[in-house]
Structure 1
Amino acid sequence: MSAVRFILIQLLRFGLYAGVHVLLISRLVLFELGWCFLYLGFLLFLPLATPIVVQLLLAFAMGLTMDIFYDTGGLHAAAAVLLGFLRPWVLRLLTPRDGYDSGDAVNVHQMGWQWFGVYLTLLVLIHHTAFFLLELGSFLHFGITLGKILVSALFTGLALLIIQLLFYPVRRGRN
């Protein structure tokens, strides 16, 4: 894939995830405890071979975009950059015995349910913990914050799993 095509595809994905999140998903709140951070799908589903510098820049751009729309003063950017920074470490932690192939992608159909579940759970929980603790600014109401982290992580994880199942292709075995 050429560099120009890759950049155009990533820009289109960026716009879709940000647009759908801002226009539709941000209005969904579960029991005043759970919010769906759908825009994380853009960062989590980047190709495995994406360099860390590019991941950090994209994470900052996506987080800053969310901060601009929600006037959150850098909360989204800080949590998204943390996710972008830790993603390669989690990928290394979950590396299959034979390593990743050059064509591998973060795809539940390709990598399997167990790998995808651990990957998604770890990174979404890290992001949500950082976001809600930064939002709180202290440990004064930690019980409510822990509830927000868990319910939001479950909500976001399920939404991202549904996106994977609906919109990411199933790779058939080669004959």
Structure 2
Amino acid sequence: MREVGVILIQLLRLAFYVAVHVFLISKLVLFDLGWCFFYLGFLLFLPIATPIVVQLVLGFVLGLSMDLFYDTGGVHAAAAVLLAFLRPWVLRLLTPRDGYDAADSVNVHQMGGQWFVVYLGLLVVIHHAAFFLLELGSFRAFGLTLVKIGASTLFTGLTLLIVQLLFFPSRRTR
């Protein structure tokens, strides 16, 4: 019964991130160079113990829902699945000496600011590089694409850091 509750909570979180992104955040653009991909917070803040298959399916569903809203032909889905695929490796790369608690989720208060910024930065820049290079389809305007990747990474990273600081609990709840 507990698993059904966890699944329901995650589906509600998915709907929340998609709705906030589509109706609010997607309107925010920095000088036609930086976009906030708020919906990535759903994948990035999943519990650490989430199985890889579940992460890949959730990444595809999340990306596909963005593709349906923006008519981007699978670009969001491909980049979100790549992020979901690489997330466990990045988590292993950043594993603390004592390891993770099975109940942990990604939380700046529990993991520390430096750990969180590295985790967020690595995965967001990989997602954005995949997204913008797939969207471009070639290396024609590579310099402009690099600027878009950088500006969007900063915009998304700062937004998700603010979300963590404001809305995620600072203490473990048992």
TM-score range normalised by the length of the shorter chain: over 0.9
**How many angstroms apart in 1 are the aligned matches of 2:93 and 2:15?**
30
CA deviation string 1:95-133 (max 9, x = no partner): 011111112110000000011010000000000000000
Cα distance between partner residues in 1 of 2:146 and 2:170: 35
4+ residue segments displaced more than 4 Å = none
In the alignment, what sits opposite 1:133?
133
Aligned to 2:2: 2
The residue aligned with 2:55 is 55
What residue number does 2:15 align with?
15
Whole-Å separation in 1 of the counterparts to 2:163 and 2:46: 14
Counterpart of 2:110, as a letter, is Q
Aligned equivalents of 1:58 and 1:139: distance in 2? 30
In the TM superposition, what whole-angstrom CA distance separates every residue of 1:115-153 from its partner, at most 9, and x where no partner exists?
A: 101000000000000000001111110000000000000
Gap runs ≥5 in structure 2: none
User: What residue in structure 1 maps to residue 108 of structure 2?
Assistant: 108
Structure 1 residues 31, 64: CA separation in 2 closer, same or farther (over 3 Å shift)?
Answer: same
Q: Aligned partners of 1:44 and 1:101: how far apart in 2?
A: 17
1:148 is matched by which residue type in structure 2? K
Structure 1 counterpart of 2:56, one-letter code? L
How many residue pairs match? The answer is: 174
> Residue in 2 aligned with 1:30?
30
Q: How does 1:86-105 map to 2 (within 5 A)?
A: 86-105=86-105
Which consecutive unaligned segments of at least 5 residues does structure 1 have?
none
Distance 2:173 2:76 in 1: 39
Q: How high is the TM-score relative to the length of structure 2?
A: 0.97
Cross-structure match for 2:146: 146
Go from structure 1 to structure 2 and tell me whether the alpha carbon gap of 1:172 and 1:8 turns closer, same or farther (over 3 Å shift): closer
Counterpart of 1:121 in structure 2 is: 121
CA RMSD of aligned residues (A): 1.4
| Worse-matched range after superposition: 12-21 or 94-103 | 94-103
What displacement does 1:173 show? 10
Q: What is aligned with 2:72? A: 72
State how far apart, in whole Å, the 1-side matches of 2:116 and 2:140 are: 34
